[in-house]
Each structure stands twice: as structure tokens, then as C-alpha cells.
């Protein structure tokens, strides 16, 4: 690159000590990202960890939250100053996380940057985030994010091109110094890929039959344009099927997290009289999903298991799957399906990046986590649109209701009663006291009895990657009981204030006559045991969780 003719500035800066990426990149409040040099330092740290930027192609986009457009202009100018040859950016700055992965893979780009804090709130007082994806389309592995963090602690300057903002609202190419900026259709590539996975004609017949109604809530986040294009325009669902379909910088004042608490408007619709047959929602950046039937909620763990059990109904998987993978806190419902299908089932730490190696090595075809994320080997991210279409394809093929499909699954495989209790924004010292207290008890838990429940073992989950042999320690405290029940506790890395304690509870019920209890009732004994062992209420000062899903 000839920088002599370009107006490139080298800006002196000082390191920030808080730029360690979490499971899904660097997430902070908008105000923190707006500090002078903060975003620029982190982006330069990413670029400095590449072997070279010269001649490379970068994919860039975000979920449309506040500060998205400004950050894109900064990153474009920094890409130009650092020698990138091409940047592909979503029109209007909009590009969902799964769509970004799709574009990286389709065009063999070298890397991608996704601007999102996923399901966290947006707006000037909300959160912002930056995630770096590698050439396979997946999130950067730990060795890469650690290198970025190390670089962020020693960086003293960054490079940026001095220029006016580009028009990112018009599809086409335009120069920025020696960089070619290509503004692309945000939806087209991802939709084309999804059409190759599913039977769109079969789904269209269902949605236009006049006997089936669906409701999709985009929560004013990134999936609005995707949902309008796919469900209404391509598949023929009536206008109005998609709710809150216009991305807004503050998500309309809502919380773009597709669960029973934050997607309450959709829940009210689906649990009302004359409810639609099928409901779904997605999150801020489009990778998570919630599935609902008429007056019926499908837990994410059950969703993964049912997808696995019905995979041959999906054109891409009609000849079988290599295996299935789930995050450690996700229920073991998928394990029981995998055992019956005689395919491998992998248990990984939380974080989609751990699935990438399994997918690349063709050890797994389907993946899922209890935090409302499912996906597969078509890309290297979880994919909310893929998940909704997967369910629609199953419904179209089986011609049964959501509830019928789930209850039949329980009759065949047993029911895993499952729930997650979140204690959000807990003071960090208090949250760590809960985890440390549990860890201190692990060696003496075996054989302890609480009524009918006897502990089989307790440990702190450690994962050895079967592909590259990398080791990830301290991934969550597990307490397993002799009847297959589990208590899992870990701290989440997706929040920006304090710490979030996530408590996971699971009880397996093979008895068909005991599969219709309310979930919290079925788990009541485990909830009490978890509080007795972890002293959660006492140490946090909270009398109940913030969110129960």
C-alpha cells in the first residue's frame, strides 16, 4: 500500500486495562466505547494481531443499535489506513451475526467484525459491543482473543484515514483511499443459503394454507429485515406476521432478549385465546431464538433435542448427521436422542466458539445452548432465522402442532424438566463469593443426601477440545445426582454491569404420568438444595432471581 498519497494519521494513545473479550467479544456501555480512543484502540489491537492487513478482505456490520453507524465509519477509515483491500459492509450498517458468518464463508473473506451487544439493551444509556470472527466465519478462539487483549494492554497508537463519512445506505462499491468499500444487501446471501437448507416450497404451502398462523417478533432488532424478506415476501405469510420489524437504535425501549420475560408481548399473544399456531422471536443481533406454540413454550434444550430427533425431515440432513453438540449447562435431552440415533454428542463450555472446531472437523452437524441459541454446520454461528425455519419445516412435514410434537418427544425420550435462574448485575465480590464457596465444597459433596436426592459427584467443568487438544478450565460448577438430576452454576460474561449468576436446574423424568407438572414445581427440591449449598440468597442479598426461564 502506498500511504504517501493518503491522509493517514498515526494517533498517539494510551492502553485501557479493561478490553479483555468475553465469550462473545468486548461488551461495555455505550459511554465507555465513546471515550476518546477506546474503540480505536481495540480495533487497532485486532488489526495488529493479524499477520498482515495488506490485501485482506473484512466483513463488517452490526445490529443497528446506538453508535453502530458511527463505529462503522471509524472502522472503515482504520481499515483503509491499515492496508485492507476490501471491506464488505451491510447496507445501512445492518448485518446479523449469522449473516456475517455466511458472507465470510461465501466470499472467502479473511475475517469479520460484528458490532453488537447481542441481547443487551441499546440506546445512548445502553450497551455496545465488538466481536471478531475468523476466516471460518466463527467467533475468534480463546488464543486469538487473548492475543488481542494482550495487545490492548500495550498499544500506544493507532492508524486512521482522515476522510469524510461514506454513504453506507446505497448498495454498490466506492473507494476510501486504497480501500474498496462494498455495501452489500444485508439479507440476500443469508436467505439464499437458508433456501438451500430447507424445503421452502413445503413451508410456503403451510404458511399460505389458511389453516396455520404464525407470529414473529423481531423486537425492533436486526432480524426485522430478514423476517420481512423471508417469512412475508418469500414464503407468503400475511402482512403483519412480523411484529416490531424495523431496527431501532434503542430497540424501541425494549430489551432484545427472546425469552418469556423480555419478549412478553409475543408471550401474551401466544398464550391468549385464539392464539397463532406458532410464535418465535429473535434477539439483538439475530443469533438467538425463542419457539412457542399455541399456549405452549419450548425450552431451548428441548428445541435442540427435537431438532436432532427430526433431522431427516430437513433436506440438508435427510441422509443423517455427524453428531450433535451442546454447551455444558444445556440439558441432557439431546444426549438421549443422540444415544438412540447412535451419533456422537459433545459437551462443551458455554460460548459458540467451542462448536467451531467440531463443525469444521465434521464431528457435529447440529449445535445448541440453553441460552436460546441453536445452529448448524451451514455457518459457524448460532442462527435465529435457521432455527425458526427448522421448526416451520418440521411442522409442515409432520402436520402436528408444536405441543403435540413436544409431548410425543417426551413420551419417547423422557422429559428433562429444566430451568435457568439469573441473578443479574450482582456486585462482583458477592457473585464470586457464591462461586468460590461452592468450589470449596466440591471435594466433599459425593454421597451427600438431601431427602431422596443423593449427590453422585461435584466438579468444576474442564474441557479438552477433541480437535486441537486445547484446555478450558473453570467453566462452571456441576453438581450431579445419582438419578441424573443436575445443578450447574456459573458466572456469565455477557453483561456489562457487575456479574450475572446463572443457576441451571435439571431433573429427568421418564415416568409418563409425571411429565405434566409445572417446571418450577418439579424442580423445587433442587432449587432449595442449590440455595443451601451456594447460599445464593444470603450472599447476594437477593430474595429471588431477576429472570427465570
Residue with cell 451487544: 117
Confidence (pLDDT) at 493? 58
Q: Under a CB-based contact definition with an 8 Å cutoff, are residues 388 and 230 in contact?
A: no
Over 60: is that where the pLDDT of 5 sits?
no
Q: Under a CB-based contact definition with an 8 Å cutoff, are residues 350 and 368 in contact?
A: no
Confidence (pLDDT) at 271? 98
Over 90: is that where the pLDDT of 547 sits?
no
Confidence (pLDDT) at 142? 87
Q: What is the mean pLDDT of the chain?
A: 95
Confidence (pLDDT) at 23? 75
User: What residue ranges define each of the domains in the chain, with the CATH number in brackets?
Assistant: 8-186 (3.40.120.10), 190-413 (3.40.120.10), 415-548 (3.30.310.50)
Confidence (pLDDT) at 127? 96
Binning pLDDT at 50, 70 and 90, where does residue 3 land?
Answer: very low
Binning pLDDT at 50, 70 and 90, where does residue 2 land?
Answer: very low
Residue with cell 484515514: 161
What would the pLDDT profile of 248-294 be if each residue is shown by its tens digit?
Answer: 999 999 999 999 989 999 999 999 999 999 999 999 999 999 999 99
Confidence (pLDDT) at 549? 84
Question: Of the listed 118, 327, 371, 385, which one is catalytic?
Answer: 118
Q: Under a CB-based contact definition with an 8 Å cutoff, are residues 29 and 500 in contact?
A: no
Binning pLDDT at 50, 70 and 90, where does residue 1 land?
Answer: very low
Residue with cell 459492509: 89
Over 60: is that where the pLDDT of 532 sits?
yes
Cα–Cα nearest to 384, from 246, 200, 227, 241: 227
What would the pLDDT profile of 212-252 be if each residue is shown by its tens digit?
Answer: 999 999 999 999 999 999 999 999 999 999 999 999 999 99
* SS3 annotation, 488-542: EEEEECCCCCCEEEEEEEEEEECCHHHCCCCHHHHCHHHHHHHHHHHCHHHHHCC
Q: What is the mean pLDDT of residues 404-415?
A: 97
What would the pLDDT profile of 32-91 be if each residue is shown by its tens digit?
Answer: 999 999 999 999 999 999 999 999 999 999 999 999 999 999 999 999 999 999 999 999
Over 70: is that where the pLDDT of 548 sits?
yes
Give percent of the chain with pLDDT exceeding 90.
93
* 118 is a catalytic site residue: yes
Which alpha helices (DSSP H) does 260-314 contain, by range? 264-270, 300-309
* SS3 annotation, 425-492: EECHHHHHHHHHHHHHHHHHCCCCEECCEEEEEEEECCEECCCCCCEECCCCEEEEECCCCEEEEEEE
Amino acid at each position: 500500500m502506498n500511504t504517501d498519497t493518503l491522509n493517514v494519521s498515526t494517533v498517539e494513545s494510551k492502553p485501557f486495562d479493561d478490553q479483555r473479550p468475553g465469550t462473545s467479544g468486548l461488551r461495555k456501555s455505550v459511554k465507555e466505547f465513546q471515550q476518546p480512543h477506546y474503540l480505536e484502540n481495540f480495533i487497532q489491537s485486532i488489526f495488529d494481531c493479524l499477520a498482515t492487513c495488506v490485501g485482506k478482505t473484512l466483513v463488517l456490520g452490526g445490529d443497528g443499535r446506538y453508535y453502530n453507524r458511527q463505529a462503522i465509519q471509524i472502522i472503515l477509515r482504520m481499515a483503509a489506513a491499515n492496508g485492507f483491500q476490501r471491506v464488505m459492509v451491510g447496507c445501512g450498517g445492518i448485518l446479523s451475526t449469522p449473516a456475517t458468518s455466511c458472507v465470510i464463508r461465501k466470499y472467502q473473506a479473511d475475517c469479520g467484525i460484528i458490532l453488537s451487544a447481542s441481547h443487551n439493551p441499546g440506546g445512548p444509556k445502553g450497551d455496545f459491543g465488538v466481536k471478531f470472527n475468523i476466516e471460518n466465519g466463527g467467533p475468534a478462539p480463546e488464543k486469538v482473543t487473548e492475543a488481542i487483549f494482550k495487545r490492548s494492554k500495550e498499544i500506544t497508537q493507532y492508524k486512521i484515514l482522515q476522510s469524510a463519512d461514506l454513504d453506507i445506505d446505497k448498495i454498490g462499491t466506492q473507494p476510501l483511499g486504497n480501500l474498496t468499500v462494498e455495501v452489500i444487501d444485508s439479507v440476500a446471501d443469508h436467505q439464499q443459503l437458508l433456501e438451500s437448507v430447507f424445503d421452502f416450497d413445503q413451508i410456503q404451502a403451510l404458511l399460505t394454507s389458511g389453516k396455520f398462523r404464525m407470529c414473529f417478533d423481531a423486537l425492533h432488532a436486526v432480524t426485522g429485515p430478514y423476517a420481512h424478506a423471508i417469512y412475508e415476501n418469500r414464503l407468503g405469510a400475511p402482512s403483519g406476521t412480523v411484529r416490531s420489524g424495523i431496527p431501532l437504535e434503542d430497540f424501541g425501549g425494549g430489551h432484545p432478549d427472546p425469552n418469556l420475560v423480555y419478549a412478553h408481548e409475543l408471550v401474551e399473544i401466544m398464550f391468549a385465546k385464539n392464539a397463532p399456531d406458532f410464535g418465535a422471536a429473535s434477539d439483538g443481533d439475530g443469533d438467538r431464538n425463542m419457539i412457542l406454540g399455541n399456549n405452549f413454550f419450548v425450552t431451548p434444550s428441548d428445541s435442540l433435542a427435537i431438532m436432532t430427533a427430526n433431522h431427516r425431515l430437513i433436506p440438508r440432513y435427510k441422509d443423517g448427521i455427524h453428531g450433535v453438540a451442546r454447551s455444558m449447562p444445556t440439558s441432557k435431552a439431546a444426549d438421549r436422542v443422540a444415544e438412540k440415533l447412535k451419533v456422537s454428542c459433545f459437551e462443551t463450555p458455554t460460548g459458540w466458539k467451542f462448536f467451531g472446531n467440531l463443525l469444521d472437523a465434521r464431528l457435529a452437524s447440529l449445535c445448541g445452548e440453553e441460552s436460546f441459541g441453536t445452529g448448524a454446520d451451514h455457518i459457524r454461528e448460532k442462527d435465529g432465522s435457521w432455527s425458526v425455519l427448522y421448526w416451520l419445516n418440521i411442522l409442515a412435514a409432520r402436520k402436528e402442532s408444536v405441543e403435540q410434537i413436544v409431548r410425543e418427544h417426551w413420551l419417547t425420550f423422557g422429559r428433562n424438566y429444566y430451568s435457568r435462574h439469573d441473578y443479574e448485575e450482582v456486585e462482583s465480590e458477592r457473585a464470586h463469593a457464591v462461586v468460590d464457596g461452592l468450589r470449596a465444597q466440591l471435594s466433599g459433596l459425593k454421597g451427600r443426601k438431601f431427602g431422596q436426592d443423593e449427590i453422585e459427584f461435584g466438579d468444576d467443568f474442564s474441557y479438552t477440545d477433541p480437535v486441537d487438544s486445547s484446555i478450558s478450565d473453570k467453566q462452571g460448577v456441576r453438581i450431579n445426582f445419582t438419578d441424573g438430576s443436575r445443578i450447574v452454576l456459573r458466572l456469565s460474561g455477557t453483561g456489562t454491569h457487575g456479574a450475572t449468576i446463572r443457576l441451571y436446574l435439571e431433573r429427568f423424568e421418564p415416568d409418563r404420568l409425571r411429565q405434566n407438572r409445572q417446571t418450577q414445581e418439579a424442580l423445587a427440591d433442587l432449587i432449595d438444595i442449590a440455595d443451601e449449598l451456594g447460599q445464593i440468597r444470603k450472599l447476594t442479598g437477593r430474595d429471588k432471581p431477576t429472570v427465570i426461564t
